[in-house]
């Protein structure tokens, strides 16, 4: 984002009555707002285009003021300060930071990525009904590891890798390039890493490493590698590898079901293979619950349908090594034999270099055009929007998939927009037009935010809602 | 930690002495002009994010009475006042028993902030508190503004009101590299280098402690805006060793250079360390008595109305926030 001072522009004309009813911040003038593409705990994500260069799409992530009336959201601060320091092809690029002084909210502008692994996997599972081709899997995985290796060598642990946080660029110079996103939970190792639960943060458990499930207090880069292993398997099978039922409760509850799912596939961890296992709090606390069970080693290879001799299987099993100290690192994984055999990984993961391979047209991200930057919903029916230039250009973009783009108008009372794809920026669904920008700076704002917060708390009790995956009811809701 | 070599700290926040001088002068000059033009130097952030000087109706001018007009602070007075509050930062952080890293971060935020603003434009007491608050957030030691305000009997709203201004003035470059960690590294290196035996290990421990105190002092000087943290740590180690004389420092420096920076000139490093050393020697720790008259001047610059209760009206600056920041 270049020079912070000149880019951290301020604004939002607000409070005064002589602004022709236009409550938009001044910096907003440089963007054409297309609509809302995500919504969650910290705020909303919008799709916009830069007016001076309409071919350029930008995702704008809006952070509300922190809920407890304690100034700028710490999550936003963390994400910005890390992203200011890093620069890598496989990490999402923060291009600007904008401030709305009226309600002390922050807007982070990123290069827009049309796809994410969550949507790509879902498309293959539900629409294409066939696996992702080998070239694409390998290229996605290689680029993910490449970005992660960069982060780890800069002492940054992501801590919340999951398919929806792994973005893939659509049409353009960077078509098919992987971008690791959402650094709201990322940490520099050097500072003491508090357990996520202590920060009051809730993330999906499906990609959580066993040492964390067993109560390890310290995060290492190995937790990210476990998540990569889970994502690798999901790319191969189109199903989450360890789909445990999350136990809700305070704080850091013992996730028995998640461990159970892991042990069923990988067998029981032993002290022999994982000497520090006995030091983990939950191992002792739940000796009977865990160790009382007999686990047949079902065999990872049968779950992912790979021969144990296959290098892909070898790499996967090294990522899913129980002992975090023995788990393969990102740097080692990049050197693995799997990446040196055909098909070789490429920069455009979505389009294989060889002709003849079937090209999959991935759907574009749904956009809710009824919501503006303030988070207020206008009462127009939503429009299908292409990634190209649909709104103002009128021409359909090259990737328009009609079946995908059609959206239902969102009923006002519902307040829950298209959950699919919304999780791309890790803002799991949340109720709320409230808590948005309050241009007048009227005290009501805080009350509304508090209300939204309550709703969100309630939603957290819904197991499906917080995983970032599809709550079951949405499957039937669609189409 | 992320790599210093590619950091915003290295790229944007290490200056030459000349740069610093110019920046301090420019901020002072701008505030002086505002005082002449608007009768006040206080900058307010409008709801739309633009900055404006609070205009004060100057009745005195009409009377030709120059005495009641507030006088601007001199560059040196600003410097002394900053030094006062920089010491206060360490005071407050100690009172809260915050780790050294936080106080160093807060100090650097404070120093960076006043490269762009004059103390006449934003009261250093408010900025000091806000920098501590922001440093806590950035270093994952979150303390609520209320708690912080309560602990030192200050209105916490002041902190919240200034938070965005501070973050913005820092350009959101919030990761800073303090010398404490580099110091740990050098000490364990020294241990190996000198093949320290048991009794010496104890002495090295003493050196470490006094070197940390040296870093505390170094951080309050301009050295923290002039040199990378590794050099600051070496300078602290050098100063601390002067008293203890445990390490053959010259030989150690040569060894560090030959192992890590074969291209770097020994004398360049020596000059840098020498410069840090003399900055620490010149470090002032003004007491509240020392700055009392400056503080009084500051008050009348920031808020002339506090004396004569003249009506104020706000002058809307045409400049956007960016212009003001870029002027520095």
Q: What is the pLDDT of residues A117-138, one digit of tens each?
A: 999 999 999 998 889 999 999 9
From A291-295, A386-390, B144-148, B207-211, the region with the lowest mean pLDDT: A386-390
A66 CB within 8 Å of a chain B CB: no
Q: Strand A94-100: give its sheet, edge to edge.
A: A31-39, A43-50, A53-63, A105-111, A94-100
Q: Is the pLDDT of residue A275 over 60?
A: yes
* Contact call for A102 and B168, based on CB within 8 A: no
pLDDT value of position B110: 98
**Which structure tokens are listed for B162?**
């200034």
- Chain B from 131 to 170: CB within 8 A of any A CB: 133-134, 137-140, 142, 144-146, 159-160, 163-164, 167-170
Q: Is the pLDDT of residue A5 over 70?
A: no
B310 CB within 8 Å of a chain A CB: no
Query: Measured between alpha carbons, how far is A374 from A381 in angstroms, rounded to an integer?
Result: 18
Q: How far is CA B107 from CA A8, A10, A48, B114, in A?
A: 22, 25, 38, 11
A72 CB within 8 Å of a chain B CB: yes
Query: Measured between alpha carbons, how far is A312 from B242 in angstroms, rounded to an integer?
Result: 59
Q: Is the pLDDT of residue A414 over 70?
A: no
The model's confidence at residue B307, banded by pLDDT at 50, 70 and 90, is low
Query: Measured between alpha carbons, how far is A367 from B201 in angstroms, rounded to an integer?
Result: 64
Burial (0-12, 13-18, 19+ Cβ within 10 Å), B292: exposed
pLDDT value of position B192: 83
Q: Which domain holds residue B317?
A: 39-70+304-328
Q: Which residue in B7, B49, B167 is closest to A85 by CB distance?
A: B7
Q: Which residue has the higher pLDDT, B229 or B270?
A: B229
Give the residue extent of every domain in chain A.
Answer: 4-114+371-477, 115-340
pLDDT value of position A327: 97
* Contact call for B138 and A81, based on CB within 8 A: yes
Q: DSSP letter for A276, please.
A: G
Contact A470, A477 (CB under 8 A): no
* Architecture of the A115-340 domain: Orthogonal Bundle (1.10)
Q: Which residue has the higher pLDDT, A384 or B135?
A: B135
Query: Measured between alpha carbons, how far is A46 from A369 in angstroms, rounded to an integer?
Result: 10
pLDDT value of position A376: 55
Total domains, chain B: 3
Residue B244 lies in a domain: yes
Q: Is the pLDDT of residue B175 over 60?
A: yes
Q: Is the pLDDT of residue A201 over 90?
A: no
Contact A13, A23 (CB under 8 A): yes
Q: Is the pLDDT of residue A188 over 60?
A: yes
Q: Is the pLDDT of residue B224 over 70?
A: yes
Contact A267, A297 (CB under 8 A): yes
User: Which residues in A lie closer than 8 A to residue B326 (C-beta atoms)?
Assistant: 5-6
Q: Is the pLDDT of residue B262 over 70?
A: no
| Structure-token match 């028993």, residue found | B97
Residue A388 phi/psi, 5° resolution? Answer: -75, -90
Residue B293 lies in a domain: no
Q: Which residue in A4, A12, A77 is closest to B138 by CB distance?
A: A77
Q: Which residue in A15, A101, A156 is closest to B164 by CB distance?
A: A101
A67 labeled part of a ligand binding site: no
- Say how many residues make up chain B: 328
Q: Is the pLDDT of residue B8 over 80?
A: yes
How many CA atoms lie less than 13 Å away from B185 in the CB half-sphere?
A: 12
pLDDT value of position A392: 30
Contact A419, A36 (CB under 8 A): no
| Closest CA relative to residue B301, chosen from B78, B50, B15 | B78
A81 CB within 8 Å of a chain B CB: yes
Contact A455, A431 (CB under 8 A): yes
How many CA atoms lie less than 13 Å away from B197 in the CB half-sphere?
A: 1
pLDDT value of position A420: 33
Q: How far is CA B197 from the centre of its chain?
A: 39
Q: Which residue has the higher pLDDT, B322 or A327?
A: A327
The model's confidence at residue A286, banded by pLDDT at 50, 70 and 90, is low
Q: Which residue in A15, A25, A99 is closest to B168 by CB distance?
A: A99
**Which structure tokens are listed for A1?**
């984002």
Query: Measured between alpha carbons, how far is A256 from A258 in angstroms, rounded to an integer?
Result: 5
- Collapsing DSSP states into helix, strand and coil, what is residue B192? helix
Question: Which residues have CB under 8 Å from A38's CB, separation 6+?
Answer: A44, A45, A61, A421, A422, A423, A424, A425, A427
Residue B9 lies in a domain: no
**Residue B259 and residue B308 share a domain:** no
Q: Which residue has the higher pLDDT, A159 or A228?
A: A228
Closest Cα in chain A, distance from residue B226 (Å) = 20
- In terms of phi and psi (left: phi > 0; alpha: psi -120 to 50; beta: otherwise), the region of A129 is left
- Chain A from 196 to 255: CB within 8 A of any B CB: none
Residue of A nearest to B139 (CA): A191
What sections of A124-280 are H helices per DSSP?
134-153, 210-213, 222-237, 256-266
The model's confidence at residue B39, banded by pLDDT at 50, 70 and 90, is confident
Contact A255, A244 (CB under 8 A): yes
Query: Measured between alpha carbons, how far is A165 from A181 in angstroms, rounded to an integer?
Result: 5
| Structure-token match 């969550």, residue found | A118
Q: Which residue has the higher pLDDT, A104 or B80?
A: B80
Give DSSP secondary structure letters for B43-105: EEE-TTS-EEEEEE--HHHHHT--TTSPPPPPHHHHHHHHHHHHHHHHHHHHHTT--HHHHHH
Burial (0-12, 13-18, 19+ Cβ within 10 Å), A397: middle
Percent of chain A topping pLDDT 90: 36
Q: Is the pLDDT of residue B313 over 90?
A: no
Q: Which residue has the higher pLDDT, A255 or B26?
A: B26
Active-site residue flag, A160: yes
* Contact call for A5 and B144, based on CB within 8 A: no
User: What is the average pLDDT score of chain A?
Assistant: 72
Residue of B nearest to A85 (CA): B7
Q: Is the pLDDT of residue A418 over 80?
A: no
**Residue B48 and residue B134 share a domain:** no
Percent of chain A topping pLDDT 70: 63
pLDDT value of position B304: 74
Peptide bond into A397 cis (omega under 30): no
Residue A365 phi/psi, 5° resolution? Answer: -70, 135
* Contact call for B137 and A191, based on CB within 8 A: no
Residues A398-427 have a mean pLDDT of 31
User: Which residues in B lie closer than 8 A to residue A12 (C-beta atoms)?
Assistant: 47-49
- Give the number of other CB atoms < 10 A from CB of residue A310: 14
Q: DSSP letter for A198, please.
A: G
Q: Which residue in B48, B138, B174 is closest to A13 by CB distance?
A: B48
- Give the number of other CB atoms < 10 A from CB of residue A256: 17
User: Which residues in B lie closer than 8 A to residue A8 (C-beta atoms)?
Assistant: 167-168, 171-172
Q: Strand B51-56: give its sheet, edge to edge.
A: B43-45, B51-56, B312-314
Q: Is the pLDDT of residue A479 over 80?
A: no
Task: Indicate which CATH number applies to the domain containing B205.
Answer: 1.10.472.10
Angle, alpha carbons A10-A16-A19 (nearest 5°): 80
Contact A436, A375 (CB under 8 A): yes
Query: Measured between alpha carbons, how far is B261 from A52 in angstroms, rounded to an integer?
Result: 46
Residue B317 lies in a domain: yes
Q: Is the pLDDT of residue A400 over 50?
A: no
The model's confidence at residue A295, banded by pLDDT at 50, 70 and 90, is confident
From A103-107, A248-252, B114-118, the region with the lowest mean pLDDT: A248-252
- Which residues sit opposite A371 in a β-bridge? A377
Residues B44-69 have a mean pLDDT of 65
Burial (0-12, 13-18, 19+ Cβ within 10 Å), A461: exposed
Q: Is the pLDDT of residue A289 over 60?
A: yes
Mutation target vs A (from B172, B319, B320; most A CBs, 10 A cutoff):
B172
Give DSSP secondary structure letters for A361-404: -PPPPP-BTTB-TTSPBPSSPP----SSSHHHH-SPPTT--HHH
**Residue B133 and residue B94 share a domain:** yes
pLDDT value of position A167: 95
Measured between its terminal Cα atoms, the distance across chain A in Å is 40
pLDDT value of position A2: 37
Residue of A103, A116, A160, A368 marked active site: A160
Question: Which residues have CB under 8 Å from B187's CB, separation 6+?
Answer: B204, B207, B208, B211, B237
Q: How far is CA A467 from the centre of its chain?
A: 11
- Which residues sit opposite A116 in a β-bridge? A167
A70 CB within 8 Å of a chain B CB: yes
**Residue B195 and residue B113 share a domain:** no
User: Which residues in B lie closer than 8 A to residue A10 (C-beta atoms)?
Assistant: 45, 48-50, 168, 320-321
A4-114+371-477 belongs to CATH 3.30.200.20: yes
Query: Measured between alpha carbons, how far is B86 from B151 in angstroms, rounded to an integer?
Result: 18
Closest Cα in chain B, distance from residue A106 (Å) = 9
* Contact call for A71 and B163, based on CB within 8 A: yes
Q: How far is CA B150 from CA A25, B94, B109, B130, in A?
A: 34, 15, 22, 14
Residues B279-291 have a mean pLDDT of 92
Q: Is the pLDDT of residue A437 over 90?
A: no
Q: What is the pLDDT of residues A233-258, one digit of tens each?
A: 999 999 999 999 888 766 667 888 89
The model's confidence at residue A54, banded by pLDDT at 50, 70 and 90, is confident
User: What is the average pLDDT score of chain B?
Assistant: 85
Q: How far is CA B194 from CA A308, B143, B211, B214, in A?
A: 52, 42, 18, 22
Contact A365, A113 (CB under 8 A): no
Contact B166, B134 (CB under 8 A): yes
Q: DSSP letter for B221, please.
A: S
Query: Measured between alpha carbons, how far is A271 from A291 in angstroms, rounded to an integer?
Result: 12
From A146-155, A243-252, A301-310, A378-387, the region with the lowest mean pLDDT: A378-387
Contact A30, A48 (CB under 8 A): no
Query: Measured between alpha carbons, how far is A243 from A249 in angstroms, rounded to an integer?
Result: 19
Residue B296 lies in a domain: no
pLDDT value of position B305: 67
Q: Which of B135, B155, B176 is the last residue of a domain?
A: B176
Residues B184-193 have a mean pLDDT of 87
* Contact call for A10 and B181, based on CB within 8 A: no
Q: Is the pLDDT of residue B322 over 80?
A: no
Query: Measured between alpha carbons, how far is B242 from B116 in angstroms, rounded to an integer?
Result: 37
pLDDT value of position A455: 37
Mutation target vs B (from A8, A23, A63; most B CBs, 10 A cutoff):
A8
* Contact call for B170 and A4, based on CB within 8 A: yes
């Amino acid at each position: 984002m270049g020079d912070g001072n000149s880019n951290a522009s301020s604004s939002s004309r607000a409070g005064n009555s002589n602004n022709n009813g236009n409550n938009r911040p001044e910096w907003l003038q440089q963007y054409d707002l297309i609509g809302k593409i995500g919504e969650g705990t910290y705020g909303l994500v919008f799709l916009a285009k830069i007016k001076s260069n309409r071919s350029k799409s930008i995702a704008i992530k809006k952070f509300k003021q922190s809920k407890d009336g304690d100034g700028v959201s710490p999550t936003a601060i963390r994400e910005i300060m890390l992203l200011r320091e890093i620069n890598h092809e496989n990490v999402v690029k923060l291009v600007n930071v904008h401030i709305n002084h009226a309600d002390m909210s922050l807007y982070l502008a990123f290069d827009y990525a049309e796809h994410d692994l969550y949507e790509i996997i879902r498309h293959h599972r539900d629409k294409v009904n066939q696996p992702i081709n080998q070239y694409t899997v390998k290229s996605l995985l290689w680029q993910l590891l490449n970005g992660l290796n960069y982060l780890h060598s800069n002492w940054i642990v992501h801590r919340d890798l999951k398919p929806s946080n792994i973005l893939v660029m659509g049409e353009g110079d960077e078509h098919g390039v992987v971008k690791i996103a959402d650094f709201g939970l990322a940490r520099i190792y050097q500072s003491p890493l508090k357990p996520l639960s202590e920060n009051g943060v809730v993330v999906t458990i499906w990609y959580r490493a066993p040492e964390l499930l067993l109560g390890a207090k310290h995060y290492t880069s190995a937790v990210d590698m476990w998540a990569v292993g889970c994502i690798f398997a999901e790319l191969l099978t189109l199903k989450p590898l360890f789909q445990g039922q999350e136990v809700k409760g305070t704080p850091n509850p013992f996730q028995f079901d998640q461990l159970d799912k892991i042990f069923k596939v990988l067998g029981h961890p032993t002290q022999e293979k994982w000497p520090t296992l006995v030091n983990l709090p939950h191992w002792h606390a739940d000796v009977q619950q865990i160790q009382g069970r007999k686990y047949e080693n079902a065999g990872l290879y049968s779950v992912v349908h790979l021969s144990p001799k296959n290098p892909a299987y070898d790499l996967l099993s090294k990522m899913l090594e129980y002992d975090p100290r023995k788990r393969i690192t990102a740097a080692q994984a990049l050197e693995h034999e799997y990446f040196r055999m055909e098909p070789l990984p490429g920069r455009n993961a979505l389009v294989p270099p060889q002709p003849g391979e079937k090209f999959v047209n991935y759907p574009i991200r749904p956009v809710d055009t009824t919501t503006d930057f303030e988070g207020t919903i206008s009462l127009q029916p939503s429009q299908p929007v292409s990634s190209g230039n649909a709104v103002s250009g009128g021409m359909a973009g090259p990737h328009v998939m009609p079946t995908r783009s059609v959206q239902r108008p969102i009923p006002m009372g519902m307040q829950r927009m298209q959950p699919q794809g919304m999780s791309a920026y890790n803002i799991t669904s949340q109720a709320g037009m409230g808590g948005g920008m309050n241009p007048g700076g009227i005290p009501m704002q805080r009350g509304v935010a508090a209300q939204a917060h309550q709703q969100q708390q309630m939603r957290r009790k819904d197991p499906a809602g917080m995983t970032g995956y599809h709550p079951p009811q949405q499957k039937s809701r669609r189409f | 930690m992320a790599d210093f070599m590619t950091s915003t700290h290295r790229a944007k926040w290490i200056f030459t002495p000349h740069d610093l001088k110019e920046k301090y002068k420019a901020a002072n000059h701008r505030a002086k002009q505002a005082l002449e033009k608007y009768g006040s130097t206080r900058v307010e952030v409008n709801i739309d994010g633009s900055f404006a000087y609070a205009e004060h109706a100057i009745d005195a001018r009409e009377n030709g009475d120059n005495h009641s007009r507030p006088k601007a602070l001199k560059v040196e007075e600003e410097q002394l006042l900053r030094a006062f509050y920089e010491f206060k930062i360490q005071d407050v952080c100690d009172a809260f028993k915050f780790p050294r890293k936080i106080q160093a971060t807060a100090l650097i935020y404070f120093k960076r902030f006043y490269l762009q603003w004059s103390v006449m434009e934003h009261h250093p007491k408010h900025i000091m508190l806000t920098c501590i608050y922001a440093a806590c957030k950035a270093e994952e030691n979150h303390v609520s503004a209320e708690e912080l305000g309560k602990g030192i009997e200050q209105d916490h709203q002041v902190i919240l009101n200034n938070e965005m201004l501070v973050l913005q003035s820092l350009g959101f470059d919030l990761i800073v590299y303090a010398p404490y960690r580099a110091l740990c590294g050098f000490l364990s290196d020294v241990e190996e280098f000198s093949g320290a035996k048991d009794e010496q290990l104890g002495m090295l421990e003493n050196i470490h402690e006094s070197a940390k105190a040296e870093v505390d002092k170094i951080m309050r000087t301009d050295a923290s805006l002039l040199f990378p943290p590794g050099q600051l740590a070496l300078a602290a180690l050098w100063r601390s060793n002067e008293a203890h004389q445990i390490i053959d420092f010259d030989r150690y420096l040569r060894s560090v250079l030959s192992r890590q920076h074969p291209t770097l000139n020994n004398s360049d490093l020596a000059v840098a360390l020498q410069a840090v050393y003399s900055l620490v020697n010149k470090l002032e720790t003004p007491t509240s008595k020392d700055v009392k008259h400056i503080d009084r001047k500051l008050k009348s610059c920031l808020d002339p109305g506090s004396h004569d209760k003249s009506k104020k009206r706000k002058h809307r600056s045409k400049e956007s926030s960016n212009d003001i920041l870029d002027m520095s």
